Amino acid sequence: MSAEKNMWLAGGVHGTQVQVRFGDTDPYGIVYFVSYFRYCHRAIEEFLRAVGLPPEETFKNVQEGFGLPIVEAWGRFRRPSKYGEVLRIETRVQDVRTKAVVFRFEFYPETGRELLAEGTATLVAIGSDWRARELPARVKAALLHKT
């Protein structure tokens, strides 16, 4: 189960919220760019859970012999956010390839449509030998039929 509220999944877009916490900011009270990447991972976790892929069985699945490490990530940070603010994250699957999936993230204020930050993360399917392999069929299906 998820500990988050205010989540939704519609038209392939998953929404979640994070609150900027102590320890998420730089020494000047502004969200540290590293925290956005942490928020992105949290958004992937919630997305996966929402499409029937529990993250604790999806990032590494010993029984089925696959893993899904993040091999590339990018972020642009447009407007500063501060301690205590609530950020809305919209997450979608930007691309599903044979062996990889690319997520796209957009950060907005709790209310309003100003884009605060955006990013992408690429996950590659690997086998137990750490070599790239095809995405497991059920994972691919869940990512593609995601509404």
Verify binding: residue 42, its own copies, rule CB under 8 A. yes
Verify binding: residue 140, its own copies, rule CB under 8 A. no
Can you tell me which of 9, 41, 90, 104 binds its own copies, judged by CB under 8 A? 41
Segment lying near its own copies (by CB under 8 A), choices 17-25, 94-102, 138-146: 17-25
Q: Least Å distance between CB 127 and its own copies?
A: 14
Residue 143 C-alpha from the chain's centroid: 13
Verify binding: residue 132, its own copies, rule CB under 8 A. no
Verify binding: residue 80, its own copies, rule CB under 8 A. yes
Verify binding: residue 142, its own copies, rule CB under 8 A. no
Question: What one-character-per-residue DSSP string does 75-140 give?
Answer: EEE-S--BTT-EEEEEEEEEEE-SSEEEEEEEEEESSS----EEEEEEEE-EETTS-B-PPPHHHH
Can you tell me which of 74, 95, 97, 138 binds its own copies, judged by CB under 8 A? 74
Q: How far apart are CA 101 and CA 141, in angstroms?
A: 12
Count of other CB atoms within 10 angstroms of residue 60: 14
